[in-house]
Amino acid sequence: MSLALATLLYEWRRYMAAVVALAFSGLLVLAQVGMFVGIGKGFTAQIDRARADIMVLGPGAKALFGGPSGLPRRMIPLVYSHPEVIQVAPLDGSGGRFQNILSPEQQAKAEARAKRGEKGGGGRKTEFVNVTVIDAIPGYVTVPTDYSNDMIEALRRPYSVAIDQTALKRLGVKKGDKAIYNGKTITIGVVTTGYPNIIQPTLVMSRDTLRMLGEADTGQRVGPLMVSIRDPARAEIVAAQLNKKADGKFRAWTRQELADANSGAMLEDQIIGIMLGFSAFLGLLIGVAITWQTLRGAIMANIKEFASLRALGVSMGDLRNIVMELSFWVGIVGVLAAGLLTWLVSLLATAGGVPMYFPPVLIAIVAVFLVVIAMLSGFLSLGVLKNSQPADLLR
Amino acid sequence: MSGNNNAHKRGESALSAKGLVKRFKTGRTFIEVLKGVDFDARHGDVTMVMGPSGSGKSTLVAALSGLLKPDEGHVAALEADDLWSLPKGKIDRFRLDHCGFIFQGFNLFPALTAKQQVMTVLKYQDVGPGEAARRAQAALESVGLGPRVNQRPSELSGGEKQRVAIARALAKNPNLIFADEPTSALDGKSGETVIKLLRAAATERGAAVICVTHDPRLEAYADRVIHIEDGRILDDVRRTPEANPAPLSH
Ligand SMILES: Nc1ncnc2c1ncn2[C@@H]1O[C@H](COP(=O)(O)OP(=O)(O)O)[C@@H](O)[C@H]1O
Ligand SMILES: [Mg+2]
C-alpha cells in the first residue's frame, strides 16, 4: 500500500472534514439534478407509457398537459382520414378540489393529536388535483401500456379513480377509500406506480366517470389526440404525412419526439440551468476551500516525516506526487461518501413522494467533478511542502 | 546487501571539507556559526563530533551532507569532488544513493508499519517491491526488530522507533551515515543499542559514520573524536574504540 493511501486510512479522522465537504458538494449537485430529472420523468411517464404511436397537439404545444395543447374537434376526422390510422381519441382532463374522508376513529385520533399540539399526517386533507382520463377498454389507445386489465376493470366502475402511490400520503387516502372530488364522492379504485408528480397529484378516471362528474369536454375544442396506426414502425413517416396535411393547424409527434421535447424542455429551463450552475460553483468553492485547508493541516502534521524523506534523498517532485495521490484518494472517498449521502437523501425523497432519478452520465460527471475538486485542493496545498526543510531536523 | 559494501575501503577518505563558513541572519546582524572549519572522515570510522550546545555541530553536519549550503568552503564527498557545485536535483540524488540520516527525533510516518517505513525509502531508490520487502526485513532484523516489523510507531518504544529509523537509514546501504544526537532522546540501554548499531555499520560495512553528540560516554565507541566550540575545531583526536565499553546506563 502506498504511503498516501496508508496515511489516509490510518489518519482518517484528520481527513473527515474534507470528505464531508466533498460529500456535501456532490450532494448539492446530485440531489438537485436527481430531483429535476425525477420530476421530468414524472412528466414524461404518461408519454413514455402511452399506447399511442403518434400524438397530435395544437400548433406550438410541446406538452400533453398544462398548455395550449388542445385543438378544434373537427381535426379528429382529418387525422382519421389518413389510411394507416386505426384509432383516434382525444385526451380529456379536468382539475379541482380533493378531500379525503376520515372514519370516526381516524377523526378522533386526529383531534387528539391536534389537542396535544402535535403536527403530522392522518388528518383532514384538501388538495388541488389534476384529472386525466382513459377509455376503460383494454388495449384502447388512451390506456397506458402498464395498466393491467384488472386496473381497467376497476376504473370502469362509476366514480372510481386511480392515484399514484407517491400521492397517497399527500392526499391522505389508501386503496379502497372514499373521497370527495369537487363535492362528489369518488372511490380510490386503483393505485398506480411510476407516475409521480410533485407539483400536483393526478387522478386518473374513465371518460365516462368524468362525464358523470359533468366535467368532460363537449365543446368545439378537445384535448390532444392519441393516435394508433397499423404499423408502429412507420410512426415517423405517418407523423410527417399528417403534418403535411395539417398545414400548420396542428402538429403530429411520434411518442419519442414528444418525450425528448418534454425532458429536454425541463433541463433547458433557464432557471434550472442557473440554479445548477450556481450550485456546482458553490460546491466547488466550498469543497476546494475546506479540502484545501484540511490537506494543508494534514501535511503540516507530517511535515517532519516528509523532511526526513527529503534528507534521505527523496526529491521534492516525489513529495508533490505523494500529496497529489493523497488528494486523489480523498476525492475517491469523497465520491463514495457523496454517493452514500445522496442515496440516503433519495430514499427520504422517495418516501416523501419525490422520486429522484440519476442518469449514469450524471453520476460520472459529478464523480469526476469531486475528484477534480480534491486534486485542485491538493495542488493548492503543495505550497506547504516548502516547510519540509531537512536541515530543520538537525538542531 | 553486497553492492555497497565498502569494507575494503576502510581507512580511505570518504568525506573532506575545507574552510566551511556558515552565517545566519538574525535581525539586522549576521552570526557566524561555522568559522572556517576543515573536516574529514574515513570509511570504517566512527567520527564523533562533540561540543557544547550551540557550537555549530548540527550546522556542520548539514553542510557536509548536502542539506544546507555553506556560505564559503568546499565539500568533497565520495565521487562528488565539489558537492555544493552540483545542481539541487543531483544533490538529492547523491543523498538518496549514499547518505543515511538519524536524527534526534525519529520522524516516522504514523500510518506506516516499521517495514513500510523502510520500504518507502527503498521504493524511491527504484528497488522493486519484492527486493525492497526482503531488504527491509533484513535491515529490521539486523537492528533486532525482526518480531516487530508490522508494528506502527504508536506501538513502539522510543528506542525501538530509533532502531526503525536506523534500519531505514541502513537499508539503503549508505556510505555516509550522519547521526545528530541519536541517543539523546533515549534511555541508557536503548542509547547503547543505537550506538552499537552505528559502530557495527562502520566496522562491518566500511561506512563513514559521523555522529554528533554531547554525551561523553559515547566516546568509548569512536575511532576519532573532534571537539568543536563556537564554530571552530578545538582538537581532533584519533583513538582506538574500546572493546568492552562501560554500559551507558551507569
Ligand atoms: N536556521 C537558523 N537560523 C538562525 N540561526 C540558526 C539557525 N540554525 C542554527 N542557528 C544558530 O546557529 C548556532 C549553532 O546551531 P547548531 O549548529 O544547531 O548548534 P549545535 O548543534 O552544536 O547545538 C546556534 O546559535 C543556533 O541558534
Ligand atoms: Mg544540534
Q: Cβ separation of B67 and A394 shorter than 8 Å?
A: yes
Which comes out higher in pLDDT, residue B245 or A278?
A: A278
**Closest Cα to atom 3 of ligand 1:** B24
* CB contact B86 to A (< 8 Å): no
Q: Are A184 and A132 in contact (CB under 8 A)?
A: no
Which comes out higher in pLDDT, residue A37 or B43?
A: B43
Q: To test the ligand 1 pocket, which listed residue (B34, B59, B61) has its Cβ within 8 A of the most ligand atoms? A: B59
Q: B129 in a domain, yes or no? A: yes
Q: B1 in a domain, yes or no? A: no
pLDDT digits 0-9 by tens, A352-385? 767 788 888 888 999 999 999 999 999 999 999 9
Find all residues with CB under 8 Å of B50, minimum gap 6, and list them: B57, B212, B213, B214, B216, B219, B225, B226, B227, B228
Which of helix, strand or coil describes residue A353?
Answer: coil
Q: What is the mean pLDDT of residues B207-233?
A: 91
Q: How confident is the model at residue B4 (pLDDT cuts 50, 70, 90)?
A: low
Q: B249 in a domain, yes or no? A: no
Q: Cβ separation of A10 and B152 shorter than 8 Å?
A: yes
Main-chain dihedrals φ then ψ at residue B211, nearest 5 degrees: -120, 120
Mapping DSSP onto H, E and C, the string for A147-188 reads CCHHHHHHHHCCCEEEEEHHHHHHHCCCCCCEEEECCEEEEE
pLDDT digits 0-9 by tens, B163-199? 999 999 989 889 999 999 988 888 888 888 889 889 9
**Cell digits of residue A326:** 493523497
Q: Are A153 and A162 in contact (CB under 8 A)?
A: no
The strand pair at B224-229 and B232-238 is best described as antiparallel
Q: How confident is the model at residue A264 (pLDDT cuts 50, 70, 90)?
A: low
Q: How confident is the model at residue A122 (pLDDT cuts 50, 70, 90)?
A: low
Beta carbons within 10 angstroms of residue A125's beta carbon: 16
**In the predicted structure, residue B250 carries a pLDDT above the cut 60:** no
Q: Are A190 and A154 in contact (CB under 8 A)?
A: yes
Tell me how far apart the alpha carbons of residues A389 and B103 are, in angstroms, rounded to a whole number: 13
Q: B248 in a domain, yes or no? A: no
Which of helix, strand or coil describes residue B2?
Answer: coil
**In the predicted structure, residue B1 carries a pLDDT above the cut 50:** no
**pLDDT at residue number A65:** 61
Please report the beta strands in chain B, taking only residues with DSSP state E, as ranges in sequence order: 13-26, 29-42, 46-50, 72-77, 99-102, 176-180, 208-213, 224-229, 232-238
Q: Cβ separation of B103 and A394 shorter than 8 Å?
A: yes
pLDDT mean across residues, chain A: 87
Kindly provide the b/e burial profile for residues A252-285, where b requires at least 16 CB atoms within 10 angstroms of the residue's own CB: bbbbebbbebbbeebeeeeebeeebeebbeebbe
Domain map (residue ranges) of chain A: 3-41+269-390, 93-216
- Kindly report the nearest CA distance between residue B181 and chain A, in angstroms: 9
**Cell digits of residue B215:** 554525551
The amino acid present at B93, given as its one-letter code, is R
Question: Number of CB pairs < 8 Å for A and B?
Answer: 90
Tell me how far apart the alpha carbons of residues A123 and A114 are, in angstroms, rounded to a whole number: 9
The residue behind cell 526543510 is A389
* CB contact B112 to A (< 8 Å): yes
- Kindly report the nearest CA distance between residue A393 and chain B, in angstroms: 7
Q: How confident is the model at residue A263 (pLDDT cuts 50, 70, 90)?
A: low
The total number of structural domains that make up chain B: 1
Å from CA of B239 to ligand 2 middle: 24
The residue behind cell 535491515 is B139
Domain CATH code at residue B78: 3.40.50.300
Q: B243 in a domain, yes or no? A: no
**In the predicted structure, residue A100 carries a pLDDT above the cut 60:** yes
Q: What is the mean pLDDT of residues B64-93?
A: 91
Q: B246 in a domain, yes or no? A: no
Bridge partners, residue B23, by sequence: B32
Q: Cβ separation of B59 and A318 shorter than 8 Å?
A: no
Q: Which residues of A touch B61 (CB under 8 A)?
A: 394
Ligand 1 atom closest to the CA of B53, numbered from 1: 23
Q: Which residues of A touch B95 (CB under 8 A)?
A: 311-313
* Interface pTM, i.e. ipTM: 0.90
Containing structural domain, residue B50 = 7-238
The residue behind cell 571539507 is B17
pLDDT digits 0-9 by tens, B113-171? 999 999 999 999 989 999 999 999 999 998 889 899 999 999 999 889 989 999 999 89
Classify residue B74 as exposed, middle or buried by CB count within 10 Å of its CB (0-12, 13-18, 19+).
Answer: middle
Q: Cβ separation of B112 and A6 shorter than 8 Å?
A: yes
pLDDT digits 0-9 by tens, B17-41? 999 999 998 888 989 999 989 999 9
Q: B82 in a domain, yes or no? A: yes
Closest CA to A43 of A239, A337, A259, A214: A259
